[in-house]
A = this chain, B = another copy of it.
Amino acid sequence: MHILVTNDDGVQAPGLLALAEAMRPLGRVSVVAPDRNWSIAGHAKTLSRPLRVNEVRLADGSQALSCDGAPSDCVALALMGLLDEKPDLVVSGINPTANMGDDITYSGTVANAMEAAISGLPAVAVSVDGLDSSCKTVEFAAAAHFGRRVVQQVIDNGLPLRVYLNVNVPCLPLGEILGCVVTRQGKRLYFDELIKRIDPFGRPYYWIGGDPPGGEGEADTDVGALAAGYVSITPLQLDLTEHHEIENLSRRQW
């Protein structure tokens, strides 16, 4: 079992090391990750310029590759032949903030799993809910533990083709987490605000600011599971069609 470990926070992010260490008991681990932080990068592919790859060392001395493309470029390179042996499974994270609700469409962490699923590989994205108001410091130990459990389960029983898992872990000590539940994508509430400032030269610039997102906590969703102290495992897929509207819209005169 050859496991590709990647992320969107950059190759030196502590969550990546925690995830790589959690995967080592399960097989051979290769790390390929972006050379800088690409949070909220979406699912990108870089065709306009060539990509560079460098050998680096993680904080535990282990070898990794960094790539100067987007997170999903790093996955694409790794799956297209950059590594001597093609990975069997891709794990992305550990992201220090949750990826729930519509976050999923922006998340580089999830986009890495999506990229793997497009290539036909099983994939798991792992995030910890570090923006939760009760979270004092983001600890990766519990998320690494559950990430390993989920990946072990995927190794043992597989995943349907083009299905990938989005795992969110509460920011709680391991002993306080109540277990895992399989959920659907819930509803994020965003409080983004346009903040206009003036630079020292009199010219305006804009921040996308505002309060951190909240969520509507229906029990069977990612948001609800985390609020109740459970790890959320959401099966995701690649078809964005709103199938329920096809018949309805077909009746219109276009």
Q: A51-B207, A184-B243, A246-B235 are in contact. Are A153 and B253 (CB under 8 A)?
A: yes
Q: List the B side residues contacting A254 at CB < 8 Å.
A: 149-150, 153, 179-180, 182, 231, 233
Contact call A46/B163, Cβ cutoff below 8 A: no
Tell me how far the C-beta of A4 lies from the nearest C-beta in chain B, rounded to whole angstroms. 15
Q: List the B side residues contacting A149 at CB < 8 Å.
A: 254
Determine if A95 is an interface residue (Cβ-Cβ < 8 Å).
no
Instruction: Give Cα distance in the complex from A122 to B233, angstroms.
Output: 30
Interface of A is mostly: mixed
Instruction: Give Cα distance in the complex from A153 to B242, angstroms.
Output: 18
Determine if A87 is an interface residue (Cβ-Cβ < 8 Å).
no
Residue of B nearest to A46 (CB): B208
Interface members, chain A 49-102 (any B CB < 8 Å): 50-53, 70, 72-73, 76-77, 80-82, 102
CB-defined interface of A228-239 with B at 8 Å, one 1/0 digit per residue? Answer: 000101111111
Q: A42-B41, A240-B236, A253-B153 are in contact. Are A52 and B205 (CB under 8 A)?
A: yes
Determine if A111 is an interface residue (Cβ-Cβ < 8 Å).
yes
Contact call A80/B193, Cβ cutoff below 8 A: yes
Contact call A252/B194, Cβ cutoff below 8 A: no
Determine if A39 is an interface residue (Cβ-Cβ < 8 Å).
yes
Determine if A134 is an interface residue (Cβ-Cβ < 8 Å).
no
Determine if A160 is an interface residue (Cβ-Cβ < 8 Å).
yes
Q: A163-B245, A236-B242, A241-B237 are in contact. Are A40 and B51 (CB under 8 A)?
A: no
Instruction: Give Cα distance in the complex from A207 to B43, angstroms.
Output: 17
Q: A102-B118, A240-B105, A242-B235 are in contact. Are A249 and B182 (CB under 8 A)?
A: yes
Known: A42-B44, A42-B111, A237-B241. 11 other contacts (CB 8 A): A47-B207, A51-B206, A76-B208, A105-B111, A105-B118, A160-B245, A180-B254, A185-B239, A233-B249, A235-B242, A236-B242
Q: 13 interchain pairs (CB within 8 A)?
A: A39-B48, A41-B42, A42-B42, A42-B44, A50-B197, A52-B203, A53-B204, A80-B193, A105-B111, A105-B118, A181-B250, A183-B246, A185-B239
